[in-house]
Amino acid sequence: MGYNTAEFLEVMRQTLPVIRFDTIQMMLKQNDWPTLRVLFDDNLRDIPGGKYLEESWYYDLEADAVSDRWFKPGTIRQTTLTDNSVKGTVPIANGGYSVGYIEEETLANRSPAQIIDVIKAREMTMKLRYLRGLAKDAWGYVDSSLDQTQLFGYPMWIVPITAAQMAASAGGAFQGANVASTVNSTLATTGSAGVDLSLSKYADLRNWNAGWTNSDGEIAQTDRVRIAETLYRLSFKAPDSMKDLEVPAFKKRVIFTNSTMWTSLGNVKEQLNDNIGADITKYRGSHLINGIPVERVDALDTDDVDLRGTNPMYFINTDLIRLGVDKKKWMRKSKPQLTPNTTDSVSIFTDARCQLMAQDPQKCGAVISWAE
């Protein structure tokens, strides 16, 4: 005979184990989920509670610099009281999931251990489903600057080249300002974090972007030059040896792209020889560009030319754009309780408050893509 709902609640309260988050991290490393590995690989940022996440960004830092000889006679230095900083603000996203169990299921799982095994499997499934959704959102956009349910994904911070910029400066420039109006008409004028990067005074906060020489994804010699320039602009230096790929400083550099560009990189490697060098190579079954791992992401195969351009290749410094979590409400479980409006169903609710935000919008990343 199974438990009634009251007895089942008591069993849950006494014996339900906490699924440790390091179990999730282990699963992420064992599976091919590159975006999640980057988001969670010792890279979480602790953020305070509240509704919003703020970051101070500094711009026009050379405006008041003075070159002068020390102790120059008769000179009185003027102190400038200008604060060349601006606060970017985004809402913290409220997410989570719930796990349910109905009374009839106890008939097939009579012992507490059997019940717990079922709940553990069900919770792991829901947790991973939530995390996979988080990874998808990391490459998406929000519908409103006040959206408190979704991530401000990488493309909201690392803006691709436009058709007009392709005509003027396809080789690359710090020209990634606000998202396109077709992505979000409000954020196109206010900026993703309430800072309008189209204003000339905020030019120091724009990200680097460049354009491919063609739309089909074939990597020409000119494209390799643009890749090299992008790496230089982000200070992405190659490790001295392959073993240094595990050094934290290099683990914080990653390149994401789609299947088209992934295949093109493989074609380039086949054409290279020792006289050309090892700027594009292969290591442990993956591509490397200048020693930086390249990860293929399925989400980038979905066409969203206004948001990400065509065939995007993202270069990301995960030290400067990190997932912030409210640790007081990150994977916080409720006690087992009756599901609202039911008499025979038990639920466990889990909160997950987080947000993705650039700490340095100019140096956090860059993108090369095609626009027309």
The 10s digit of each residue's pLDDT in 240-266 is: 555 555 555 557 899 999 999 999 998
- Residue 68 bridge partners (DSSP): none
- Given this model, what pLDDT does residue 196 score? 95
Structural domain contains residue 221: no
189, part of any domain: no
Report the pLDDT value the prediction gives residue 123, as an integer from 0 to 100. Answer: 80
299 within a domain of the structure (yes/no): no
Q: Where are the beta strands (DSSP E) in the chain?
A: 45-46, 52-58, 85-91, 93-102, 173-176, 207-211, 253-257, 280-283, 286-289, 292-296, 310-317, 321-333, 337-338, 345-358, 365-370
Asked if the structure places residue 43 within a domain, the reply is: yes
Q: Is 283 a member of any domain?
A: no
* Cβ–Cβ under 8 Å, residues 127 and 176: no
The confidence band for 275, taking pLDDT boundaries of 50, 70 and 90, is: very low
The confidence score (pLDDT) of residue 80 equals: 55
- Answer for the pair 53, 47: CB distance below 8 angstroms, yes or no: yes
Which residue has 């792991």 as its token pair? 124
- In the 8-state DSSP scheme, what is residue 78? P
Total domains in the fold of the chain:
1
Residue 184's CB is within 10 A of a number of other CB atoms, namely 22
Residue range 60-88, pLDDT digits in tens: 766 555 555 555 555 555 555 567 899 99
**Helix, strand, coil % over all residues of the chain, rounded to 5:** 35, 25, 40
The pLDDT of 158-182, averaged and rounded, is 96
pLDDT at position 276 is 42
Q: In the chain, what percentage of residues exceed pLDDT 70? A: 74
- Reported as a single tens digit per residue, the pLDDT across 183-221 is 888 889 889 899 999 999 999 999 999 999 999 999 999
Report if pTM > 0.75.
Answer: yes
How many CB atoms neighbour CB 85 within 10 A?
Answer: 11
Q: Which domain holds residue 108?
A: 5-59+88-139+323-358
- 127 closest CA partner among 365, 366, 330: 330
Query: Distances in Å between the alpha carbon of 371 and those of 146, 163, 235?
Result: 29, 5, 25
Strand partners, 101: 346
Mean pLDDT of 328-343: 83
In which band, very low, low, confident or very high, does the pLDDT at 31 lie, cut at 50, 70 and 90?
A: low
In the three-class reduction of DSSP (H, G, I as helix; E, B as strand; rest coil), residue 304 is classed as coil
For residue 78, being part of any structural domain is answered with no
